[in-house]
Amino acid sequence: MSVINTNIKSLISQNAMVKNNRELGTAMQQLSTGKRINSAKDDAAGLAITSRMTSQIRGLDQAIRNGNDAISMLQTTEGAMVEMTNMLQRMRELAIQAANDTYTQDDRDYLNLEFQQLKTEINRITRDTQWNGMDVLNGTFVNDAGVEGKFRFQLGSNAGQVITHTIGPMGFKESTGEASLGTGTLELSGNFSVGDKISLTFGDKTIDYSVTGNDLISGDEAMSLESIAKNFAAKLSSELGEDVTADASGVITFDTTEPDGADDPVITYVNEKGALDNIKGLDITTSSNSNEAISEMDKAINRINQERAGIGAVINRVTYATDNLTNVSQNTSESRSRILDTDYAKASAELARTQIISQAATAMLAQANQQPQTVLKLLQG
């Protein structure tokens, strides 16, 4: 049967071309993006699986960075302890020297000068050693669960996958800070340490301020007092709703002649006893004192060795953990690739196939469109 209005052969060719062009477009998209799944219609289940895998991989990669950060922090802490150990060894050496009766009292006094300076420096290291702005050796770090000195390292892609390590206070307090309340004033004096807390009570309200490392960063007592006073004044002003100011000498002034109901300020010392508190009062000015110092130096060195051993152990543990995370991330990425990524050999073959079919279909459509022309021959005559 020869008809003109409905060209079935042309319709068949057109439908074939539409389907083939869709497959051609899919192959070109896969080749241009490198992904087999570019939208949910390509593979709904595969998209859901690879999305979950992506969350896991990104979490694992961040956990690896967390582990490296933890190692850096622990190495910084242990590095400070190395220098503390070196100074303790030198102090022990000085104590042994001073214990010998071939030295005069003047000689022992000279030896004691270095001994005391090294002792002070050990405490300063424990007070000022920081990583990312956090104090790591003076025991003032408190995690958000309220546990002092306990660091939690997130080493997994899911909640609760942590490794913990506690670093106790390693030094000893040398604070001599004082606060005296006068008529409309509060005067700070002396030497404060990180973690010292000044409390001032107004009636039923107690306002606290804890000294931070930033307050003492200058190393100058006068500048430290100024920083502490100004920061405490700012907190008092905020809490009381009054104009409270501080000057460079550490004097805090209230805008009233006398703070209503103010009790005398109290200074408390956080973690007053550190791991090395036993060396705080030592000197080597006599033979007996020197022998006592030798014994106490041994205790202090052993205490630092214990802490360093714990840090070294957790560094090794975190190292193995990050290596494992790297392996898991690598294998998970490989698994995701099998589902998500384009197989270029297969996609390029599909592209060639659909291109050939597209060209052939175009030619067949042209033939189908020409076929009705034969009807004209029936009308000739």
Output the pLDDT for position 53: 94
Contact (Cβ atoms closer than 8 angstroms) between residue 53 and residue 335: yes
Output the pLDDT for position 381: 58
CA 381/CA 371 separation, integer angstroms: 19
CA 329/CA 320 separation, integer angstroms: 14
CA 108/CA 72 separation, integer angstroms: 41
CA 84/CA 174 separation, integer angstroms: 17
Band of the pLDDT at 201, cuts 50, 70, 90?
A: confident
Band of the pLDDT at 259, cuts 50, 70, 90?
A: low
Output the pLDDT for position 301: 95
The shares of helix, strand and coil residues in the chain, as percent rounded to the nearest 5, are 60, 15, 30
Tens digit of each residue's pLDDT (9 = 90 or more) over 5-47: 777 788 888 888 888 888 888 888 888 888 888 888 888 999 9
Does the pLDDT value for residue 272 go beyond 80? no
Query: Nearest 5°: CA angle at 144, between 316 and 268?
Result: 105
Q: What are the E-state strand segments in 313-375? A: none
pTM: predicted TM-score of the whole model, two decimal places: 0.71
Q: In this structure, is the dihedral angle defined by the CA atoms of residues 301, 307, 312 and 315, taken in order, positive or negative?
A: negative
Output the pLDDT for position 79: 95
Output the pLDDT for position 88: 96
Q: What is the b/e burial string over 204-235, where b = at least 16 CB atoms within 10 angstroms of the residue's CB?
A: eeebebbbbbebbeeeebeebbbbbbbbbbeb
- Tell me the residue type at 18: V
Main-chain phi, psi angles of 162, to 5 degrees: -125, 155
Does the pLDDT value for residue 270 go beyond 70? no
Query: Which one, of 251, 126, 248, 122, lies nearest residue 178 by Cα?
Result: 251
Tens digit of each residue's pLDDT (9 = 90 or more) over 118-174: 998 998 898 889 999 888 988 778 888 878 789 999 999 999 999 999 998 888 877
CA 268/CA 270 separation, integer angstroms: 6
